[in-house]
Amino acid sequence: MKATCSIEECTKNAVKRGWCPAHYQRWRTTGDPLGSKPRVYIDRKVPVAERFWPKVDVRGPDECWPWLAYLDKGHGRFIVMGDDGRGHPIGAHRMAYQLAVGQIPKGMHIDHTCHTNDAECREAKNCQHRRCCNPKHLEPVTPDENRWRGRWAPTENAKRTHCQRGHEFTDENTYFPARGGRQCRECMRMRDRRRRSTKVPDNAR
């Protein structure tokens, strides 16, 4: 049985986001499934900085400056007008860096050093540092460096110098499977010895 539209008194079948086609289209057009909110209009005559900084909670020079507007997976999102006359989203932290420091080198990511330097903050959507727009907390880094500074599981594992049994990941003791990751060769040898020791000889069957 198909679900009905989540809008009260609407009995049509839901297609996306829990809405029927009509309410979904109103949301795409106006930002509201009931069509009560006007389409966002960006005045090209208003400088970007005048639109941007009021959406930032500017605090002390060394504190985080949280983004106050729309968030996408914890990161602030700001709309800029493109040459095609349409609005395009950009990370609020990237916009803050460009306004306060200058152009971001091509191919570089912007790392939140406030997160990197906070050992207790984990990599998650609710990380408060993701919305920080303080230029002092923003640093251009390569994509690889940005991933290395993160605290998600693959990066944390890659930073370990020893396996869970205490064997060091030296060149001779590290195996890299084709599927990715790495394994401790000494642990592999231990598993092989244990497997052979428990194997029943053919003449004992």
Where does residue 133 rank: exposed (0-12), middle (13-18), buried (19+ CB within 10 A)? buried
Of 176, 119, 180, give the one whose Cα is nearest residue 149: 119
What whole-number distance in Å separates Cα of residue 176 and Cα of residue 157? 13
So where are the chain's domains? Answer: 1-39, 42-159, 161-205
- pLDDT, tens digit, for every residue of 92-135? 999 999 999 999 999 999 999 998 888 788 766 678 899 999 99
- pLDDT, tens digit, for every residue of 172-199? 988 888 887 788 898 999 888 888 887 6
The pTM (predicted TM-score) of the whole model is 0.58
Per DSSP bridges, beta strands 138-141 and 174-175 are unpaired
| CATH 3.90.75 corresponds to the domain 42-159 | yes
